[in-house]
Amino acid sequence: MPHAFAIANGLDWDTEIKSFWAWLGDARGVIERDVAATSLVRDLIAEQRERIEEAAALEADHEAARCALTIAVALVGFHYSSTQKLIAGLKEYGVFEPPRDLPTFDTIR
Protein backbone atom coordinates (compact mmCIF):
# COMPACT_ATOMS: atom_id res chain seq x y z
CA MET A 1 0.00 0.00 0.00
CA PRO A 2 1.48 3.39 -0.90
CA HIS A 3 2.62 5.28 2.20
CA ALA A 4 0.66 8.43 1.33
CA PHE A 5 -2.55 6.46 0.84
CA ALA A 6 -2.10 4.75 4.19
CA ILE A 7 -1.55 8.01 6.03
CA ALA A 8 -4.49 9.66 4.24
CA ASN A 9 -6.77 6.95 5.59
CA GLY A 10 -5.40 6.76 9.13
CA LEU A 11 -3.56 3.51 8.61
CA ASP A 12 -0.13 4.82 9.43
CA TRP A 13 2.16 2.92 11.82
CA ASP A 14 1.25 4.98 14.91
CA THR A 15 -2.47 4.47 14.36
CA GLU A 16 -2.01 0.74 13.85
CA ILE A 17 0.03 0.39 17.05
CA LYS A 18 -2.44 2.47 19.10
CA SER A 19 -5.29 0.36 17.72
CA PHE A 20 -3.56 -2.87 18.74
CA TRP A 21 -2.89 -1.67 22.30
CA ALA A 22 -6.46 -0.39 22.63
CA TRP A 23 -7.82 -3.75 21.48
CA LEU A 24 -5.47 -5.60 23.84
CA GLY A 25 -6.55 -3.50 26.81
CA ASP A 26 -10.23 -3.89 26.00
CA ALA A 27 -9.90 -7.62 25.33
CA ARG A 28 -8.04 -8.19 28.59
CA GLY A 29 -10.66 -6.25 30.53
CA VAL A 30 -13.56 -8.09 28.95
CA ILE A 31 -11.99 -11.54 29.32
CA GLU A 32 -11.13 -10.84 32.95
CA ARG A 33 -14.60 -9.28 33.37
CA ASP A 34 -13.03 -6.15 34.88
CA VAL A 35 -14.50 -3.61 32.46
CA ALA A 36 -17.17 -3.22 29.86
CA ALA A 37 -15.61 -2.54 26.48
CA THR A 38 -16.82 -1.29 23.16
CA SER A 39 -19.57 -3.36 21.63
CA LEU A 40 -17.26 -4.73 18.92
CA VAL A 41 -14.78 -6.12 21.47
CA ARG A 42 -17.55 -7.36 23.73
CA ASP A 43 -19.36 -9.08 20.85
CA LEU A 44 -16.17 -10.70 19.53
CA ILE A 45 -15.26 -12.09 22.94
CA ALA A 46 -18.83 -13.14 23.74
CA GLU A 47 -18.89 -15.13 20.51
CA GLN A 48 -15.49 -16.70 21.21
CA ARG A 49 -15.48 -16.96 25.04
CA GLU A 50 -16.37 -20.68 25.05
CA ARG A 51 -13.56 -21.47 22.60
CA ILE A 52 -11.14 -19.26 24.55
CA GLU A 53 -11.95 -21.06 27.80
CA GLU A 54 -11.76 -24.49 26.13
CA ALA A 55 -8.37 -23.71 24.59
CA ALA A 56 -7.05 -22.34 27.89
CA ALA A 57 -8.27 -25.43 29.77
CA LEU A 58 -6.27 -27.71 27.45
CA GLU A 59 -2.99 -26.02 28.36
CA ALA A 60 -0.94 -26.86 31.45
CA ASP A 61 -0.65 -23.18 32.38
CA HIS A 62 -4.19 -21.85 32.07
CA GLU A 63 -3.23 -18.25 32.83
CA ALA A 64 -0.48 -18.18 30.19
CA ALA A 65 -2.93 -19.68 27.69
CA ARG A 66 -5.56 -17.05 28.54
CA CYS A 67 -2.93 -14.34 28.07
CA ALA A 68 -1.94 -15.76 24.67
CA LEU A 69 -5.57 -16.03 23.62
CA THR A 70 -6.25 -12.47 24.78
CA ILE A 71 -3.41 -11.31 22.53
CA ALA A 72 -4.84 -13.40 19.69
CA VAL A 73 -8.27 -11.80 20.13
CA ALA A 74 -6.64 -8.36 20.13
CA LEU A 75 -4.75 -9.19 16.92
CA VAL A 76 -7.91 -10.40 15.20
CA GLY A 77 -9.87 -7.35 16.33
CA PHE A 78 -7.20 -4.83 15.43
CA HIS A 79 -6.74 -6.45 12.02
CA TYR A 80 -10.50 -6.34 11.42
CA SER A 81 -10.64 -2.68 12.45
CA SER A 82 -7.73 -1.79 10.17
CA THR A 83 -9.30 -3.64 7.27
CA GLN A 84 -12.62 -1.87 7.79
CA LYS A 85 -10.85 1.50 7.92
CA LEU A 86 -9.00 0.69 4.69
CA ILE A 87 -12.25 -0.40 3.00
CA ALA A 88 -13.93 2.84 4.11
CA GLY A 89 -11.02 4.81 2.62
CA LEU A 90 -11.20 2.88 -0.64
CA LYS A 91 -14.94 3.53 -0.83
CA GLU A 92 -14.25 7.26 -0.48
CA TYR A 93 -11.97 6.97 -3.51
CA GLY A 94 -14.76 5.20 -5.41
CA VAL A 95 -12.90 1.91 -5.73
CA PHE A 96 -15.98 -0.15 -4.90
CA GLU A 97 -18.39 1.67 -7.18
CA PRO A 98 -20.10 -0.62 -9.65
CA PRO A 99 -19.11 -0.01 -13.25
CA ARG A 100 -21.30 2.53 -14.96
CA ASP A 101 -23.54 1.33 -17.74
CA LEU A 102 -22.80 3.59 -20.63
CA PRO A 103 -25.63 4.37 -22.99
CA THR A 104 -25.69 2.38 -26.20
CA PHE A 105 -26.80 3.77 -29.52
CA ASP A 106 -28.26 1.73 -32.33
CA THR A 107 -26.56 3.01 -35.40
CA ILE A 108 -27.81 0.28 -37.71
CA ARG A 109 -31.06 1.11 -39.44
Number of domains in the chain: 1
CA atoms in the 13 A half-sphere facing the CB of 59: 15
Domain that holds residue 81: 6-92
Confidence of residue 21 (pLDDT cuts 50, 70, 90): very high
pLDDT digits (tens, 9 = 90+) for 27-71: 888 888 777 777 788 888 888 888 888 888 888 998 898 889 889
pLDDT score, position 63: 86
Average pLDDT, the chain: 81
Q: Is 73 inside a domain boundary?
A: yes
**Exposed/middle/buried for residue 10 (C-beta within 10 Å: 0-12, 13-18, 19+):** middle
Residue 101 pLDDT greater than 80, yes or no: no
Answer yes or no: is pLDDT of 107 > 80.
no
Question: 20 CB contacts (<8 Å, ≥6 apart)?
Answer: 74, 75, 78
Determine, yes or no, domain membership for 97. no
Residue 106 has φ and ψ, to the nearest 5°, of -85, 110
Angle at 9 between CA 77 and CA 99, to 5 degrees: 100
Quote the pLDDT of residue 109: 61
Residue 83 is assigned to a structural domain of this protein: yes
Residue 91 is predicted with a pLDDT of 84
